[in-house]
A and B are shown apart, each in its own frame.
Chain A
Amino acid sequence: MDNELTALGIIFTEFYYWVTVVFMFLIHVGFCVYEVGASRYKNHTHTLMKNTMVIPLVTVTFFFFGWWIYFAFVNGPWIIGPLVDAPFATPWSELMGTHMGGAPQEGGVLTADDTAFWARINGVFWAAFLLFSWTAASIVSGAVIERIRPSAFWVLAVVIGSFTWIIDASWGWSWNGWMVQKLGYHDAYASGVIHAIAGGFALGVLLVLGPRIGKFAADGTPRNINPHNPWLVTIGLFLIYTGFWGFYVACNIPIIDVYGPAMLDVPDKTFFSATNIYLQPTTLSAITFNFLMSLSGGLMAAYLISDGDAFWTYSGGLAGIIGASSGNDLYHPIQAMLIGAGGAILAYKMHFWVERKFKIDDAVGAVAVHGYAGFYGIVVAGFMLWGYPSSPFEGYAPITPWGNFLGALIMFFVLGFFPALIVSKILHAMGKLRIPREIELVGLDINYETQRAVDAAEVARAIREEAG
């Protein structure tokens, strides 16, 4: 920080991530609004609090172990190499606190290079990843509303938010993850590393949790439990779209000398650029084109296929972005639009088919919009970007259909579906997964509602007495 240009570069990077974090906060605001709109009146307070408490619980656990996992697990560990040291990311590291970048404490494991590099970037970089963690947990939250015990959901939220998703990021969403090195896995804006895993996780929970009472007729025919307030749902989804911008921008590294010693180390050449998480050059312009075009493709297709249903049109917009996100750093905008349209159609069709066939009650279509569209997005990117290098560094596998397909299976099933199934079965066996039947019938907010009625009667009586 001893010259203006270096200081500007560092503080710009710090500020860049900070702005993305604030934008991404809107994703969570949107999820809260959306879930309250989608749930019935008798469950509002518990539904809201279930999602709200994801914020602190995933935050503290991401501080305690999530951030360290991201750096430590890039080799598996023990898939292609051992656990990697990440002394700047442990909760007891001095770099996980207010730090000016000077020499580290004596007797510690940090070097002067560690403190100089991480002092200003660690908190904002941590927070950018953390907001992804909230999103992963929040996606699951919507699917399980109105019958899961909040305490059980919060355990599951920590499992996906601070454990399994960040393992997948370490493996397939870092410049040196083993999936990138060996499979050529490419998922620039997280079709798989956030959405497919969260969809798979939600499906695993739903299989054990079961449907809401009244969702299916005796012969298995599904009934519609409509959102109590469709306008809140649409406002929530609009907010999620807005936060999604921040998500896309947070997926990039804003400025780096691609030929510099920290990267390719090519003598006598300089090329400053934004890069994606794999350190491949890209531009904000590219992802702005593709974000909007894939959103549009998704909205247009979903509007037609759902006959203008507001809930599914908005959800289709999300599925459009999610379906194209793996390759949205490289696609042409028209490709992004068409791929996005495919994601929306797939999500819509698959949601109702799975609901009818397997009696899965996914209250908000989260498995479809995030899981199936995310899976599709990874697979399509494998074909569309076939032969592209997966990394600027030598020795990495190129992008292939089979590499990305295997990656999609790892995201959806290995790190999403199966961990959720196992943890849910344990909670179920302990009788801790689902709320008691009587409470589900009358609504989780029964105590508030009873108290509200008592309060209202008391106030009415007092007013009547005042009136004489």
Chain B
Amino acid sequence: MSTGLVDNWLNLDTFGAIYPFVGSEGFLTILGLIFWFGWHVWQHQKESTEFKGDIENITKQGGPGKVLDDEGSREAKDSIGS
């Protein structure tokens, strides 16, 4: 069993491609494109879910103004070490 064309290093001057599964490049390209495009789709879905959660979180805390006030007072407490 061998995944590549290399079975020794004696004829190095004649070697071409030496990665495993030479000849599968077209298939690998399709896999790669699916991985790339799928990443964008998945990331977009996750981002939309995250933003939806963020908006719910902000609403639950009383709206953007309240969140900013709370954040401000927390930072003030941090800066005086309490």
B16:A115 contact, CB within 8 angstroms: yes
Q: Which one of A57, A63, A151 has the greatest number of beta carbons of chain B within 10 Å?
A: A151
Assess whether B25 is interfacial by the CB under 8 Å rule. yes
Which residues from chain B contact A435 at a C-beta distance below 8 Å?
A: 51
Assess whether A270 is interfacial by the CB under 8 Å rule. no
Assess whether A394 is interfacial by the CB under 8 Å rule. no
B18:A442 contact, CB within 8 angstroms: no
Contact of B54 among A61, A100, A446 (CB under 8 A): A446
B16:A104 contact, CB within 8 angstroms: yes
Assess whether B10 is interfacial by the CB under 8 Å rule. no
B32-63: CB near A (< 8 Å → 1, else 0) gives 11011001100110010011011101110001
Which residues from chain A contact B68 at a C-beta distance below 8 Å?
A: 441-442
Which residues from chain B contact A11 at a C-beta distance below 8 Å?
A: none
Given A91-B29, A92-B26, verify A99-B54 contact (CB < 8 Å): no
Contact of A98 among B18, B43, B54 (CB under 8 A): B18
Contact of A446 among B22, B32, B58 (CB under 8 A): B58
- Measured between alpha carbons, how far is A119 from B33 in the docked complex, in Å? 24
A151:B47 contact, CB within 8 angstroms: yes
Chain A residues 356 to 405 lying within 8 A of chain B, measured CB to CB, are none
Assess whether A81 is interfacial by the CB under 8 Å rule. no
Minimum CB–CB distance from B21 to chain A (whole Å) comes to: 10
A453:B32 contact, CB within 8 angstroms: no
Contact of A60 among B13, B25, B36 (CB under 8 A): B36
- Measured between alpha carbons, how far is A57 from B42 in the docked complex, in Å? 14
Contact of B57 among A98, A436, A447 (CB under 8 A): A447
Given A98-B18, A102-B15, verify A439-B44 contact (CB < 8 Å): no
- Measured between alpha carbons, how far is A57 from B39 in the docked complex, in Å? 9
Contact of B13 among A92, A97, A102, A119 (CB under 8 A): A102
Closest to A110 in B: B16
A151:B28 contact, CB within 8 angstroms: no
Closest to A445 in B: B54
Given A154-B40, A438-B64, A442-B71, verify A94-B22 contact (CB < 8 Å): yes
Closest to B12 in A: A100
Assess whether A259 is interfacial by the CB under 8 Å rule. no
Assess whether A245 is interfacial by the CB under 8 Å rule. no
Given A92-B26, A150-B47, verify A100-B16 contact (CB < 8 Å): yes
Which residues from chain A contact B67 at a C-beta distance below 8 Å?
A: 442, 446
Which residues from chain A contact B22 at a C-beta distance below 8 Å?
A: 94, 105
Tally A residues with Cβ within 8 Å of B: 41
Which residues from chain B contact A465 at a C-beta distance below 8 Å?
A: none
- Measured between alpha carbons, how far is A189 from B78 in the docked complex, in Å? 48
- Measured between alpha carbons, how far is A100 from B67 in the docked complex, in Å? 60
B19:A91 contact, CB within 8 angstroms: no
B16:A94 contact, CB within 8 angstroms: yes
Q: Which one of B16, B23, B74 has the greatest number of beta carbons of chain A within 10 Å?
A: B16
- Measured between alpha carbons, how far is A60 from B29 in the docked complex, in Å? 11
- Measured between alpha carbons, how far is A150 from B50 in the docked complex, in Å? 12
Given A436-B51, A447-B53, A450-B57, verify A98-B33 contact (CB < 8 Å): no
Closest to B39 in A: A57
B17:A105 contact, CB within 8 angstroms: yes
B36:A61 contact, CB within 8 angstroms: yes
- Measured between alpha carbons, how far is A103 from B50 in the docked complex, in Å? 52
Assess whether B3 is interfacial by the CB under 8 Å rule. no
Assess whether B79 is interfacial by the CB under 8 Å rule. no
Closest to A56 in B: B39
A93:B25 contact, CB within 8 angstroms: yes
Which residues from chain B contact A441 at a C-beta distance below 8 Å?
A: 64, 68
Given A100-B18, A105-B23, verify A64-B58 contact (CB < 8 Å): no
Given A149-B47, A442-B68, verify A103-B14 contact (CB < 8 Å): yes
Given A94-B22, A97-B19, A151-B43, verify A2-B13 contact (CB < 8 Å): yes
A65-103: CB near B (< 8 Å → 1, else 0) gives 000000000000000000000000001111011111111
B16:A103 contact, CB within 8 angstroms: yes
Given A100-B15, A101-B15: 19 more A-B contacts, CB < 8 Å: A91-B32, A92-B25, A92-B28, A93-B25, A94-B17, A94-B25, A96-B25, A100-B12, A100-B16, A101-B16, A102-B13, A105-B22, A115-B16, A119-B16, A151-B44, A154-B40, A155-B40, A446-B67, A447-B57
The 9 closest A-B pairs by CB, nearest first: A100-B15, A441-B64, A92-B25, A94-B17, A102-B16, A151-B44, A91-B29, A442-B67, A102-B15
